[in-house]
Amino acid sequence: MNNPQDQRLHALDAVRGFALLLGVAFHAAFSFMPGWPPGIWAMNDNSPSQFLSDAAFVTHIFRMSLFFFIAGYFGRLLYQRLGAGGFWTNRLMRILVPLIVGWVILYPIIGYIWTVGLTKVFGGTLPPMPEMPKTPGAFPLAHLWFLYQLLWLYVAAVAVRALVVRLDPAQKLRGFVDKLVTGSIRTMIGMLTLGLPLAAALMSLSFWFYWQGIPTPDMSLIPQVPATVGFGTAFAFGWLVHRSSDALKAIEQRWLQHIALAIVATAWLLHVVHTEPMAQPGQTKTLFALTFGAAVWGWVLGLTGAALRFLSNYSATRRYIADASYWIYLAHLPVVAAFGVLVGHWQLHWSVKYPFILIASFALLFLSYHLLVRGTVIGQLLNGRKHRIWGRKPETPSPSPSPTSPGPGSPGPFAANTAGGGAVAQLRGITKRYGAVTALNSIDIEVRRGELLAVLGPNGAGKSTAISLWLGLIEPDAGVVTLLGGEPQDIAQRRMLGVMMQDVEMPKELRPRELVALASSYYSNPLEVDETLRRAGILPFADRPYGKLSGGQKRQAQFAVAICGRPKVLFLDEPTVGLDIQARAAMWTSIRALLADGCSIVLTTHYLEEAEALADRVAVVAKGRVIASGSVDDMRALVACRQISCESSLTAEEVRSWPAVVEVALEDQKLRITTTDAEGVVRRLLASDSRLARLEVRQAGLNEAFNELTREAA
């Protein structure tokens, strides 16, 4: 079954495909535009349609802004998953290569079709072709301009992100922006304010044909202000929506209100387009620009919310269409133009010819995708993978749509879903810096289903940073953080977590029973309160004010709060600090019971015997790197140490100077010697001390292995 985050990606992928395919219908209508002078399009049909003109205007209000909004969302998702290097490799292959190759192949074909069409329009004589404007950067990008614009926006987004990360290390500003994003959607203020930059850019235009909306930047390599502002705002807001864990839910909740207001705004815009097609300085132009900006965001948020509401489930058909949409949009322009030229002088009504163009174009484009793209290297380039064409088994829903999220605005394929291979949480290639200090350096750690992973390391090793990344409290500078198949910032993932940090404050006036009841209310299927209290061993003092509990009892109450929601992943940071022997043993029993129920646990502890008793695997972190990982026995085997204990008249200082001695301590009147040459040290002990007694030799424990590993790392 898909988790909520995956379902949201299915919905957003459907929106992206819809925006691209809508462009095919938009361009197919151009030959039917009433009042357009010959030469603007390849054909002026003999059956113009005001209805198609109005429909094209309405779709043109939002379709590219909708695309860039989704592109921003998926852009950040991709950056988070692949890191900077992987992000740019992916984008250059999926955006820059199709832009260059597509233009080289398609532009001559488009030119030929225009030549044929205009010759037909002008009665067999081709008129002189207009020259390219003699302005800096002039270049005919045709319909591929959106890829060029997208590359600029990626550069800007990554640059701004780097600046923000440097200026806001504590993430206070980013936290405020996250709340602002969600709040603007819930209150619907965003629909009005997000369009203001675009409105200002449109009002600055000296020549503005209302119908064209945001002027298409298809004739210059220099970014144009209205398009950069309008589409850049959409891209930036999509990026920020991905940051905010509750934003998509707010968009889904307000979908109907946004669409309703968008319809009202669009109706007034249509009225103005009919009565005053060309913008003139004055109040009407100002109101039109402001209303246009509001309509853009009403449609963008409304349609996205509707998709989240109704299209979140997996659909093989929608998945196939989404896969095909990138290719179809890249290849569509010469196809729809050619069919427009073909039917332009047929003595038929537009209501017959326009559907014919759409059906014929989509049939040819889908067929070309299925036969020439889907199972070829072209499909691998555009969609990230090849599909079997003939004889393939029906696709079944995957836990994550990311491998099938093709196209310029979506994240593209990734190696595997983290939930697939037993991993419930992963850090892949993670680097995290705090100013000049590198807390984590290209670190890789995974937590497997049903295991306890003990993360060990000296103070400052990066353990807390790793936990904070999994909890979504901070973001990496590079690399991929996954949690339960999704992202740690998503509320759906957080509701499957339990967390017990080392430094915790709880309301002193509340009782543990009340604290557990309150925490349980945030989960959909929590344990019964009394059962939680029993498992945590706090029934005897469950009705005593938290502020009057001992330090150990407070830790037990915190443990109860951490486990009350039946967590799938539990983070325990020094959980038994301050506990007496009996309470520690009881907590160990509870932890083992959680593991038996399938819970995955990440444990950080300074009590190495605790890790030795509980851990399935151990990861030793030092100086921001994983220096060793494996089972407890694996860790012991990594070091060739054994431990000697004995009663001796020799001092620890004397023995410490011997060859092959790693460490010496005096405990309970006995020397405890860690050595890499047990036989040699024993022979020297016997030779040096005739009164040597109670001699024991054993394999070194996790404590000795840890000490040697971290000493080597230093």
Distance (Å, whole) CA 214 – CA 224: 10
Residues 214 and 350 in one domain: yes
Residues 599 and 707 in one domain: no
Distance (Å, whole) CA 48 – CA 112: 24
Residues 613 and 684 in one domain: no
Q: Which residue has the tokens 């054993």?
A: 698
Average pLDDT, the chain: 86
Q: Kindly report which listed range (169-178, 652-661, 704-713) carries the lowest average pLDDT score.
A: 704-713
**DSSP classification of residue 704:** H
Distance (Å, whole) CA 48 – CA 30: 9
Residue 308 maps to a domain: yes
With beta carbons less than 8 A apart as the criterion, state whether 441 and 431 touch.
yes
3-state secondary structure at position 459: coil
- For 280-296, what is the mean pLDDT? 94
Which structure tokens are listed for 273?
A: 């387009």
User: Quick one: pLDDT band at residue 402, thresholds 50, 70, 90?
Assistant: very low
Distance (Å, whole) CA 483 – CA 446: 10
DSSP calls for 62-111: HHHHHHHHHHHHHHHHHHHHHHHHHHHHHHIIIIIHHHHHHHHHHHHHHH
User: Quick one: pLDDT band at residue 184, thresholds 50, 70, 90?
Assistant: very high
Residues 621 and 646 in one domain: no
Residues 568 and 673 in one domain: no
Residue 318 maps to a domain: yes
pLDDT digits (tens, 9 = 90+) for 345-383: 999 999 999 999 999 999 999 999 999 998 888 988 887
CA nearest neighbour of 235 among 315, 156, 124? 156
CA nearest neighbour of 621 among 642, 604, 646, 637? 604
Residue 518 maps to a domain: yes
The size of the chain, in residues, is 714
Distance (Å, whole) CA 264 – CA 267: 5
Percent of the chain with pLDDT over 70: 89
Residue 389 maps to a domain: no
Residue 325 maps to a domain: yes
Last-in-domain residue among 616, 633, 650? 633
Residues 510 and 535 in one domain: yes
Helix, strand, coil distribution of the chain in percent, nearest 5:
55, 15, 30
CB contact set of 423 (below 8 Å; sequence gap of 6+): 446, 447, 448, 449, 482
pLDDT at 166: 86
Residues 618 and 655 in one domain: no
Judged against a pLDDT cut of 90, whether residue 330 lies above it is answered with: yes
pLDDT digits (tens, 9 = 90+) for 588-605: 999 998 988 889 999 987
pLDDT digits (tens, 9 = 90+) for 125-147: 887 777 777 788 899 999 999 99
Judged against a pLDDT cut of 80, whether residue 570 lies above it is answered with: yes
pLDDT digits (tens, 9 = 90+) for 57-78: 999 999 999 999 999 999 998 8
Which structure tokens are listed for 325?
A: 């949409």
- For 495-520, what is the mean pLDDT? 89
Q: Which CATH number characterizes residue 700's domain?
A: 3.30.70
Identify the residue with better confidence: 51 or 577.
51
Residues 602 and 695 in one domain: no
Residues 621 and 672 in one domain: no
User: Quick one: pLDDT band at residue 455, thresholds 50, 70, 90?
Assistant: confident
Residues 629 and 688 in one domain: no
Question: 431 exposed, middle or buried (CB, 10 Å; 0-12, 13-18, 19+)?
Answer: middle
pLDDT at 59: 96
CA nearest neighbour of 536 among 513, 517, 559, 512? 559
Residue 394 maps to a domain: no
Distance (Å, whole) CA 10 – CA 405: 8
Residues 257 and 359 in one domain: yes
pLDDT at 6: 43
How many domains in the chain?
3
User: Quick one: pLDDT band at residue 707, thresholds 50, 70, 90?
Assistant: low
User: Quick one: pLDDT band at residue 676, thresholds 50, 70, 90?
Assistant: confident
Structural domain of 264 = 4-127+136-383
pLDDT at 701: 55
Residue 468 maps to a domain: yes
Distance (Å, whole) CA 665 – CA 541: 40
Distance (Å, whole) CA 1 – CA 5: 12
Residue 440 maps to a domain: yes
Which structure tokens are listed for 492?
A: 């759906």
DSSP calls for 562-613: HHTT--SEEEEESTTTT--HHHHHHHHHHHHHHHHTT-EEEEE-S-HHHHHH
CB contact set of 515 (below 8 Å; sequence gap of 6+): 506, 507, 546, 557, 560, 561
Residues 190 and 63 in one domain: yes
Q: Which CATH number characterizes residue 447's domain?
A: 3.40.50.300
Judged against a pLDDT cut of 60, whether residue 276 lies above it is answered with: yes
